[in-house]
Amino acid sequence: MKPATLLLAFALAPALPILAQAQVPPTPAEVAAYDGILRAAHQGDLETLRETIAAGELERTDGYGRTAVHIAAHASHEPAIAALAKAGADMNKLENDAYDAVTIAAVANDTDMLKAALAAGNKPTNITSRYIGTALIAAAHLGHHEVVRILIEAGAPL
């Protein structure tokens, strides 16, 4: 291996977990800065979630284009997803890297969140991710067999 290639490999090694995941969850610094509906979604705080929805924050986003729906999906708060859907949140909105709640759950192998997102109106047919794929493609690629089964049953395109 050439020295420059070896140096590049060592330089990129810390980024491998991020690259392997592809989707970008909120960083600890972003979470610490959250307030209002974004903090409530991350914490699964349903009372504050309802208050912030009533105050008009339903479609508020963070600096990465994540709504409370995306943040609740990353944090695996199924009741928050249900509350957001009931309030009229756009369940199929994509964040900056084109992920929705179903794809976040599929990549995380989070079957409970996947079922909650689907029940809340998130479509299994959405074209998502910067790779222009679907939640089903991502789950199959990662070997998430139960997620694949759930998505196929929900009508994901084969």
Radius of gyration over every alpha carbon of the chain, rounded to an integer in angstroms? 17
By CB atoms closer than 10 A (0-12, 13-18, 19+), residue 43 is middle
Report the distance separating Cα 119 and Cα 60, nearest Å: 22
Kindly report the pTM of this predicted structure. 0.85
Domain membership flag for residue 82: yes
Q: Above 80 in pLDDT, residue 11?
A: no
Mean pLDDT in the chain? 89
Domain membership flag for residue 61: yes
What are the φ and ψ backbone dihedral angles of 55, each rounded to 5 degrees?
Answer: -85, 0
Q: Above 70 in pLDDT, residue 20?
A: no
The percent of residues above 90 in pLDDT, for the chain, comes to 82
Domain that holds residue 43: 24-153
- 85 vs 14, higher pLDDT: 85
Domain membership flag for residue 98: yes
Domain membership flag for residue 9: no
**DSSP string covering 58-104:** TT---TTS--HHHHHHHHT-HHHHHHHHHTT--TT---TT---HHHH
Q: Above 60 in pLDDT, residue 155?
A: yes
Q: Above 60 in pLDDT, residue 46?
A: yes
Q: Above 90 in pLDDT, residue 158?
A: no
∠ at Cα 138 (132, 141), nearest 5°? 120
61-101 per-position pLDDT tens digit: 999 999 999 999 999 999 999 999 999 999 999 999 999 99
Q: Which two tokens stand for residue 142?
A: 């990662």
Q: For the chain, how many structural domains are there in total?
A: 1
What average pLDDT does this structure show over 4-12? Answer: 36
Report the distance separating Cα 106 and Cα 89, nearest Å: 20
Indicate which CATH number applies to the domain containing 133: 1.25.40.20
What average pLDDT does this structure show over 105-116? Answer: 98
Q: Above 60 in pLDDT, residue 9?
A: no
